[in-house]
């Protein structure tokens, strides 16, 4: 499942690469105003649309609900539309679910040295990890990574009510609350000029805290 919001320049390539391995790709368009829907469909994705922009958390919930309606689906991967995630990492995470007694596998940028994270962003992410460990009891090394793999039990169990960026914290809390069997997997997040231009910054952390505590 790929949350999609104004990613027309890159989403076709992202979907095409994903479909080489994962034939069923669902993009949840979150009220895009560019050609994202056209590009995603041209690449072979099924596109489910929100009429207005609701946020990434809402898109993930919509995508999971849509995918769960397919009785043949056993595993569900959340994957970003901006080209930062690697299909090979997603494949490895699904294999972990298939081969080990796990419900959910969460990607981590900090289990190896492939991902180059700017110093300030690294500090903020590490602070986020400390907060998540204290609040949820789940000892992750990377609490806000959008690359995740769920089995059907986890996809059905995890409640996502936070529409925007705080959904990542909510998912971690749900892992702890429902005692889901979890593991982390090393992933390579590639920060491109394009993804940086989308405005992903440490200010997202302020937004997350606002969503969590001011709801």
- The series of mean pLDDT values per 10 residues for the chain, 215 residues long, is 97 98 97 98 98 95 97 96 96 98 96 77 64 71 90 96 81 94 96 74 50 46
Closest listed residue to residue 120, CA positions, set 201, 178, 51, 192: 201
CATH number of 2-213: 3.90.550.10
The two tokens of residue 208 are 């997350």
Q: pLDDT tens digits for 69-104? A: 999 999 999 999 999 999 999 999 999 999 999 999
Q: pLDDT tens digits for 11-24? A: 999 999 999 999 99
Q: Please tell me whether the overall predicted TM-score, pTM, comes out greater than 0.75 for this model.
A: yes
**Euclidean distance between CA atoms 102 and 19, whole angstroms:** 25
Domain boundaries, the chain: 2-213
């Amino acid at each position: 499942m790929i949350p999609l919001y104004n990613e027309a320049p890159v989403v076709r390539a992202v979907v095409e690469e994903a479909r080489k391995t994962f034939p069923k790709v669902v993009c949840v368009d979150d009220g895009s105003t560019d050609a994202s829907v056209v590009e995603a469909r041209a690449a072979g994705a099924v596109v489910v649309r929100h009429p207005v922009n609701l946020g990434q958390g809402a898109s993930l919930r919509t995508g999971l609900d849509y995918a769960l309606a397919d009785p043949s689906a056993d595993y569900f991967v959340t994957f970003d539309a901006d080209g930062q995630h690697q299909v090979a990492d997603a494949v490895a995470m699904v294999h972990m679910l298939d081969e080990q007694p796990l419900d959910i596998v969460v990607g981590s940028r900090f289990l190896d040295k492939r991902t180059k994270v700017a110093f300030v962003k690294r500090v903020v992410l590490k602070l986020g990890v400390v907060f998540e460990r204290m609040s949820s009891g789940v000892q992750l090394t990377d609490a806000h990574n959008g690359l995740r793999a769920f089995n059907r039990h986890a996809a059905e169990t995890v409640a996502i009510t936070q529409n925007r960026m705080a959904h990542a914290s909510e998912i971690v809390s749900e892992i702890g609350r429902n005692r889901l069997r979890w593991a982390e997997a090393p992933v390579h997040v590639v920060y491109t000029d394009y993804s940086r231009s989308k405005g992903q910054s440490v200010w997202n952390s302020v937004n997350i805290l606002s969503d969590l505590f001011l709801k």
